Amino acid sequence: MNQQSQLSPMVGAIDLMRVNIEVLPLDALQAHASQVLDTIGALNSYINSPGPRSSNALRNAMWLVRKLVLHMARVRDLINAYTAATAVIASAQSAGAANLAPGQRPFGL
């Protein structure tokens, strides 16, 4: 009897778009990306499922899909920026460590 209540994909989409993704660390950002993709899939299933729905509900679901696709583009850009920054730092540290005198630490650490 321990059932968790599942939010509708429309409510979930609104909640996902309110997250401040600029402050999330990389692992949380990747988890957020997975949630966004799952919600887009759920909204597409809702749009394409048979059964009576109002035109307003369908229009709202399609609008939320478009908003989530744009949000996902920003999330992917941030993930790529984190990855690129990590590669640049690792490259700079390895290049700097090769030119250091014995006993010195890279970047003064």
Q: Does 104 map to a domain?
A: no
Q: Is 3 part of any domain? A: no
Average pLDDT of the chain?
86
Each residue's pLDDT tens digit, 48-87: 999 899 999 999 999 999 999 999 999 999 999 999 988 8
Q: Inter-axis angle of helices 55-98 and 9-17, to 10 degrees?
A: 40
Q: Which domain holds residue 69?
A: 9-97
Assigned domain for 106 exists: no
List of residues 6+ apart from 105 with CB closer than 8 A: none
**Is a pLDDT exceeding 50 seen at residue 106?**
yes
pTM for this one?
Answer: 0.78
Could you give the CA distance from residue 94 to residue 37 in angstroms, rounded to a whole number? 36
Q: Are 26 and 79 in contact (CB under 8 A)?
A: yes
Count: domains in the chain: 1
